[in-house]
Amino acid sequence: MDITLEKADETNASLKITLTPADYKPEVDKKLKDYSRKVQLKGFRPGHVPASLVQKMYGKSILVDEINAMLSKTVSQYIRENKLQVVGDPVPDRTQADQIDWDNQSDFAFSYTLGLASEFDIDFSDLPSVTRYEIQAGEAEVESTIADLQQRFHTHGHGEEVGDGDTIYGELKQAGTEEDTAGFSAKTAFPMNQMAEDAKGQFVGKKKGELITFILEDVFPDEKARANATGVKKEEAADLTGEFTFEIDDITRHEPAELNQEFFDKVLGIGAVTEEEQFRSKVVEIIRGNYSRESDQLLRLDVEKTLIDNTPILLPDEFLKNWLLEVNEGKFTPEQVEEQYDDFTKSVKLQLIKNKIADKADIKVEQDELLNVTRQMVREQFGFMGGEDEEMNKTIDRIAQNYLMDEKNNGQNYTNTFNRVFDDKVIGYAKTQLTVVSQEVTVDEFKALVENR
């Protein structure tokens, strides 16, 4: 076998492979013998079909299959062993392949076009610093968060007059029915927030004991809300229309929780704090914690941007655009490829940079790491708690293993998990090598930073 790499320039090359009978014949002969033992033809006992007949019937297809398998393995192995930074897939010279005479040739020549990334290196000491934003909760943010918590852990109160957002209880009756005809009636509740906006004025300000007359479908035009208000099925609610009366028996409303020990215990756990000042300090921690993940994500984006912006890499643009059109089989037009090409090249360059960092820092992903990440995902998804429960841990392990090894999606779960763990390790390492500067910002300033990204 003869393999030659010919570089046209820094980013374009061709890989030429020549095969002789010594390369492929032993494996082809082995396959033919296997076929001779297994093939069944009328007039011949199993395993006694003449080799010449097997050769005539299956020889060409076996030869083609074996050479294609050998080429695929050879190309991949050559790229790996020579550490070529190939982008896209090797593209075979189909014109050359179509001219092969499989019946008469014994030596075969093949050629592949390769797209290469230019050589590059990463020196973290030459890269600019990145900023990690520490969110400082201002008074307005603290007050807003406490108000939201008070609404979330509300109490129930009773009112004398109906207000927007209240729930009113009473007796609903259908009006205008004949004396000897029983119209619809029910003891029910009307949530004001489910009423049509322009109909609420008929109820707001009314007091207990007052009787209100109205058109039911005007107040509840949505049939689902009408069914909820009347207590009937949705399909039955469509037939409930016309004039109705409602006599108010009670008015209830959500009232914000008071800043007392009961409220503190509900929000933070029993006995976590005993004073309002302590509670406010905890709220500040909650706010910071809520934004911590977003801050980490913003830092990650900035690390990636710094790596891309400061690592010059040339790519074979014409090759990649043609390759994208070919592999997507008409799903994209040349104009669409051109439009999205910059984003595509950024992702290609970033992956090349991550691979380079991993190679230099000897970063690897072990099977146990993939299992641990998947176990944690299972716990979060199903609400399983960590602990010493052996049976529960066995169940979690089984689910995690099945998820990673699921063959229904062609190993995509394993690939996605591997890529996520790999990326996390590489970016984590990059953070330790870059200069990371902390900067305090308000919540509003941080939101603006995120929007600009």
- What CATH number is attached to the domain comprising 98? 3.30.70.1050
Q: Is the pLDDT of residue 49 over 80?
A: no
In terms of domains, do 367 and 302 share one?
yes
Q: Quick check: is 413 in a domain?
A: yes
In terms of domains, do 171 and 107 share one?
no
Q: Round to whole Å and give the CA distance between 160 and 204.
A: 11
Q: How far out from the chain centre does Cα 370 lie?
A: 17
CATH of the domain at 409: 1.10.3120
Q: Round to whole Å and give the CA distance between 64 and 72.
A: 12
Q: Quick check: is 145 in a domain?
A: no
Q: Round to whole Å and give the CA distance between 310 and 361.
A: 19
Q: Kindly state the average pLDDT of the residues 26-32.
A: 89
In terms of domains, do 371 and 402 share one?
yes
Looking at residue 50, what is its pLDDT? 73
Listed residues 200, 221, 255: the one ending a domain: 255
Range of the structural domain that residue 286 is part of: 124-139+266-452
Q: Is the pLDDT of residue 108 over 90?
A: yes
Q: Quick check: is 148 in a domain?
A: no
Q: Quick check: is 260 in a domain?
A: no
Looking at residue 36, what is its pLDDT? 76
Assigned token pair, 74:
């050879």
Task: DSSP for 45-68, please give it.
Answer: -TT-S-HHHHHHHHHHHHHHHHHH
In terms of domains, do 332 and 380 share one?
yes
Please report, as a single letter, which amino acid is at residue 144.
S
Cβ atoms 349, 307 nearer than 8 A = no
In terms of domains, do 81 and 229 share one?
no
| pTM, full prediction | 0.68
Assigned token pair, 59:
């020889």
Assigned token pair, 214:
């109205």
Listed residues 255, 276, 295: the one ending a domain: 255
With tokens 């902390």, the residue in question is 438
Looking at residue 190, what is its pLDDT? 95
**Strand 2-7 to 243-255 pairing:** unpaired
Q: How many domains does the chain have?
A: 3
CATH of the domain at 191: 3.10.50
Q: Is the pLDDT of residue 423 over 90?
A: yes
Looking at residue 372, what is its pLDDT? 93
Q: Quick check: is 147 in a domain?
A: no
Q: Is the pLDDT of residue 117 over 60?
A: yes
In terms of domains, do 286 and 403 share one?
yes
In terms of domains, do 369 and 235 share one?
no
With tokens 């004949």, the residue in question is 178
In terms of domains, do 442 and 314 share one?
yes
| Lowest mean pLDDT, pick from 16-25, 57-66, 302-311 | 57-66
Cβ atoms 253, 165 nearer than 8 A = yes
Q: Quick check: is 132 in a domain?
A: yes
Q: Quick check: is 99 in a domain?
A: yes
Listed residues 222, 255, 288: the one ending a domain: 255
Q: Quick check: is 282 in a domain?
A: yes
Looking at residue 53, what is its pLDDT? 79
Q: Please write the tens of the pLDDT for every residue from 194-250.
A: 999 999 999 999 999 999 999 999 999 999 999 999 999 988 998 899 999 999 999
| Lowest mean pLDDT, pick from 70-74, 171-175, 328-332 | 328-332
In terms of domains, do 403 and 436 share one?
yes
Q: Kindly state the average pLDDT of the residues 172-182.
A: 75
Assigned token pair, 93:
């010279």
Q: Is the pLDDT of residue 386 over 60?
A: no
Q: Is the pLDDT of residue 42 over 80?
A: no
Name the band, by pLDDT with cuts 50, 70 and 90, for residue 173.
Answer: very high
In terms of domains, do 280 and 216 share one?
no
Q: How far out from the chain centre does Cα 98 lie?
A: 42
Assigned token pair, 71:
């080429």
In terms of domains, do 194 and 274 share one?
no
Q: Round to whole Å and give the CA distance between 107 and 67.
A: 11
In terms of domains, do 191 and 237 share one?
yes
Cβ atoms 127, 307 nearer than 8 A = yes
β-bridge partners, 15 = 5, 112
Reference 116, options 306, 266, 317; nearest CA is 317
Cα angle value 85/90/92 (rounded, 5°):
155
Task: DSSP for 425-444, please give it.
Answer: HHHHHHHHHS-EEEEEEEHH
